[in-house]
Amino acid sequence: MGSNLILKNANIINEEGIVTTNKNLYIEDGKISRISEEFTPQNEETVDCSGLFVTPGLVNLHTHSPMNIFKGIAEDVSIEDWFNRKIWPYESKMTEEDTYYGALLAIVEMIDNGVTAFADHYFNADRICDAVLETGIRADIAPTLFGISEDFDEQLEKVTGLIEKRGNESSHLRLRFGPHSPYTCSNHALIKILDRAKNIGVGIHIHMSETKIQVEESIEKYGVTPFEMLYNAGGFDVPLIVAHGLWIREGDLKYLNDDTYFAVSPKTYMKLNMGMGKIWELKDRINLCTGTDGAASSNTLNPLEQVRMFALIGKMFNSATEFKLEDMWKMLMRGHKALGFKSGCIKVGYSADLAIWDLKRVNTMPVYNPLASIIYSSNAKNIIHTMVNGKFIKKDERVLVDTEYILKKAYEHSMNIVRRGKGNTKIIF
């Protein structure tokens, strides 16, 4: 069988940040089948990429995609008020359809920004799965579980059923368990969740050590840090996405292994005054990746913006010669390894999950160093095409979904959220 598609005469930036020029990238059955200077078309579709840069797609390793429907609803508040007075009360009245349209809105924004895969953590996950499959992006979805809820056992059954039902439905979809955090899940609940995860053979995705107070309270109440608590429950025996881990302590490092990935979201940390924590200092000893968190705190879902902020904060408070472009690029690419879709490398056999950039624009010209152009100057307008599994999901600067319809529905649902107002929440941050 011949190739399905050739990206002709492209410049390539690989996962290590190494640039090669004027290559033809052959894609067959969704995978990269050949990278060559020779252009030998048979019957394939050819896309001229002269002067463009082809890179692996971006990964957003921690978000709450449906929270796009709450973007801007909780501004200029403390982190306590953000949770207790705004987000959790609104969420308590959220419907499945709010979730669905919030997720669709989020996915369109991510595709526009060159994201080819994201890790999500939310309720009503069935409808998020629908949104993923309808748009062609890839996602790893963790249905959220609060271990301290009265109906925890019932929720655990429901989530287990969903993971079993949808986990193998498509190569675009993976599911794992989403215990919210050690402070909202008792040790007992964490153990129950991890038993299930091990039985089914999936990982978990959990918020850890987000604030300094959270860590201090854990030590005061239980005598252990959140990381130690998770370790004691078996949390490091499975593939693990740590959301934030901002206030990890030196002593927690011994629990981490090669299958522990951190998704960090500096924009949220700055906005909610969460402090520097330890992740900048420990950057070379942790598998750091980028996440955006939900749009209710980060307002945008572009992982590139987060890595840019990570580098700038690092340079501001440590050293201008550290947080180098190549390291930031690798941080951006590392999320692919965490998700295991066999994407993230420009190599034969890897999935063609790609972003194709035009850096010959006002904001990025001249291009002395393509990584600098991308990391410090680019925006979504530089992404000409986004592709998953060899199929375009953004083509010629346009995301291939009915954006007008999604915007209309998002508007209607945002109006409904305001009309319904806040409900009561039993969980306290």
* Footprint of Zn ion (CB under 5 A): 243, 293
- Least Å distance between CB 127 and Zn ion? 19
Could you write out the three-class secondary structure of 12-79? EECCCCCEEEEEEEEEECCEEEEEECCCCCCCCEEEECCCCEEEECEEEEEECHHHHHHCCCCCCCCH
Q: Write down the H helix ranges in 136-241.
A: 152-166, 187-200, 212-222, 226-232
- Least Å distance between CB 326 and Zn ion? 28
Give me the torsion for CA of 273, 275, 276, 278, rounded to 10°: -130
Token code pair at residue 192: 């129950």
Among residues 268 and 382, whose Cβ is nearest to Zn ion?
268
In terms of phi and psi (left: phi > 0; alpha: psi -120 to 50; beta: otherwise), the region of 237 is alpha
Among residues 28 and 293, whose Cβ is nearest to Zn ion?
293
Which amino acid does the sequence have at 395? K
Q: Are 125 and 167 in contact (CB under 8 A)?
A: no
Q: What are phi and psi of 132, to 5 degrees?
A: -65, -50
Among residues 242 and 356, whose Cβ is nearest to Zn ion?
242
Among residues 291 and 390, whose Cβ is nearest to Zn ion?
291
Q: Are 379 and 370 in contact (CB under 8 A)?
A: no
- Least Å distance between CB 50 and Zn ion? 41
- Least Å distance between CB 47 and Zn ion? 36
Among residues 54 and 274, whose Cβ is nearest to Zn ion?
274
Among residues 243 and 371, whose Cβ is nearest to Zn ion?
243
Token code pair at residue 362: 């006002």
- Least Å distance between CB 25 and Zn ion? 35
- Least Å distance between CB 62 and Zn ion? 6
Instruction: Give the sign of the dihedral formed by CA 113, CA 117, CA 122, CA 123.
Output: positive
